[in-house]
Chains A and B, each alone.
Chain A
């Protein structure tokens, strides 16, 4: 039975990890917690379901939905976060909360309030692994998360845009003095986070279905996973996501399934009391 609990934990953990990555990127660039991140996940899932149901083949539907979400992310930055960029972080967070409400409302208008399914990428036959089973789709989620982390590491360290984003996150004024366009960096970060979120949504939809409000819980758990892993660290986001999934599954299996989320949050809070910057977070030096 423990093998199934572990695989169950890995399944949900992989999903949380992808969502958490999206939080990390925007936070790195702007120190804003984007409460609309869950809605990017929702857009990825719903758009791909809509495109697919309209007859577009799945790969194209996936690509189109990621593009749609990226556009929404960039628009969010240009129209809402950008103009308010000099405001306090709390104000920016409220703006993203407003954005999440707006996006959910738009989803019910553009699409509908029903639950939709998207076909799995490589079939539904469960893979047997030592007495337990795993869906092939989960391997896609894990694989894509690993590739995403690797690509992001390369992007931030080797490309000029990536380095520009890192520069802005360390010291916005200095970056601007070096000729980096902060506006462009923010737009790219939001677009990138949105794309990642949409990718998560597309990968998850065959496992957990998709609907207009699927972003609320996923956003919340992804946020928790990002903080557990250490906000600002991509590897931390993935680690936090997997840890959260495993705690939930093991809690459900060995303790009480009714309280699995309670255990998970208790452990997160306890972990934060001892490691305030999360598992892999960097200790930030605070200016006095």
Chain B
């Protein structure tokens, strides 16, 4: 896994600016509410993926249960708001604090594991969360889910939510980039290269892994809470193992150790099924084929491969 540790994120602000401009200009290309919905879904998935990328791409860990944090963030806020009558401005932060504490408590023992054992432990966590959410129907409404009150009575409609999610995504990307370029981020990347070597340099591996885990859990929980209030309902399927796998796939597909890769991966894998639906019964076959072919021909993911291609082209034209 030495590949991604060598990635050097550009210190310039232009990529973030480009993303902001793209997001601001996108509504001109969106003809109706349905397309806004897709854009919002892309944004929410992208927020989760940017956080997950910190854990997988930079810290070199693996999590096959991140949808569990998404679901907990969503249900935490949903239950406090719907059953407890709390306003979203309080239920969301409280839910996020709860998830952070849980992530910290779980992270400490399981981050001592490596490789497949860690994958299994995170997988187990995700499944436990989705089963509990589906079984405790008195609080959660069971497998059919529950209705969620809106963010605020004056916030409704896809267009308003588009800007809310856009702002959240920009904030998430900015935060992630800052983290990566900070001393903490450099320590994380050193960890990824070799935990033993990093330890020899005086880096506290356990503490850094834990903070990456908690931060990525927070990103997922925030996206989950927003998703619940936007859709007006939440189901335990959002915490399922299949959703966790989708998220990891988006991160790898877009390019690990690349924040914009995470955004691109989320964008492509969220819109692709919508586009493939015209093929009706061939949708699954085509989706699987696209995933396989892309990973075979672009094994480092979409964005790093394209970056390299541009860099190579620039070299040749010099």
Residue numbers of A with Cβ under 8 A of B are: 33, 35, 80, 83-84, 86-91, 94-95, 97-106, 108-109, 216, 220, 223-224, 227-228, 231, 258-259, 261-262, 265-266, 268-269, 272-273, 276-278, 288
Contact = CB atoms under 8 A, between A and B. Distances in A.
Contacts of A278: 117
Nearest to B293: A98
Contact of A224 (B3, B110, B123, B288): B123
Interface stretch (B24-32, B128-136, B163-171, B218-226): B128-136
Contacts of B287: 98, 101-102, 105
Given A101-B284, A101-B291, A262-B131, A276 B296 contact: no
A100 B56 CA distance: 22
B294 to A, nearest CB: 8
A94 B296 contact: no
Given A84-B295, A288-B197, A224 B124 contact: yes
6 contacts: A91-B295, A91-B301, A108-B284, A231-B116, A266-B128, A273-B109
B289 interface: yes
Contact of A227 (B117, B253, B286, B291): B117
Contact of B292 (A95, A108, A216, A269): A95
Contact of B120 (A86, A224, A288): A224
Contacts of B284: 101-102, 104-105, 108
Interface in B1-58: 1, 3, 56
Nearest to A81: B296
Nearest to A27: B116
B283 interface: yes
B300 to A, nearest CB: 8
A33 B281 contact: no
Given A265-B128, A273-B109, A273-B112, A106 B252 contact: no
Contact of A102 (B62, B194, B245, B288): B288
Residue from B110, B135, B285 whose CB has the most chain A CB atoms within 10 Å: B285
Nearest to A90: B252
Given A261-B127, A277-B117, A88 B292 contact: no
A201 B53 CA distance: 36
A24 to B, nearest CB: 12
B285 A105 contact: yes
B287 to A, nearest CB: 6
Contacts of A88: 1, 3, 299
A235 to B, nearest CB: 18
Contact of B124 (A35, A89, A101, A266): A266
Size category of the B interface is 35 or more
Nearest to A276: B117
Contacts of B248: 94
A184 to B, nearest CB: 20
B196 A102 contact: no
A277 B196 CA distance: 19
A83 B113 CA distance: 31
**Interface secondary structure of B, over-half rule:** helix
B180 interface: no
Interface of B: 1, 3, 56, 62, 109-110, 112-114, 116-117, 119-121, 123-125, 127-128, 131-132, 135, 194, 196-197, 241-242, 245, 248-249, 252-253, 256, 281-292, 295-296, 299-301
A80 B113 contact: no
Contacts of B1: 88-90
A39 to B, nearest CB: 10
A272 B114 CA distance: 10
A165 B113 CA distance: 27
Residue from B112, B285, B291, B295 whose CB has the most chain A CB atoms within 10 Å: B295
Contacts of A265: 124-125, 127-128
B74 to A, nearest CB: 20
Contacts of A262: 128, 131-132
Given A84-B296, A94-B253, A109 B282 contact: yes
Contact of A108 (B109, B128, B197, B281): B281
Nearest to A91: B299
B56 to A, nearest CB: 8
A262 B129 CA distance: 9
Contacts of A276: 112-114, 117
B120 A272 contact: yes
Given A91-B295, A227-B119, A258-B135, 9 more contacts: A88-B1, A88-B299, A89-B1, A99-B288, A108-B281, A109-B285, A224-B123, A277-B117, A278-B117
Nearest to B283: A105
Given A91-B299, A269-B110, A273-B112, A261 B283 contact: no
Nearest to B1: A88
B38 to A, nearest CB: 20
A87 B295 contact: yes
Contacts of A228: 120
B267 to A, nearest CB: 17
Given A269-B121, A288-B197, A102 B256 contact: no
Nearest to A86: B299
Contacts of B123: 220, 224
Contacts of B62: 90
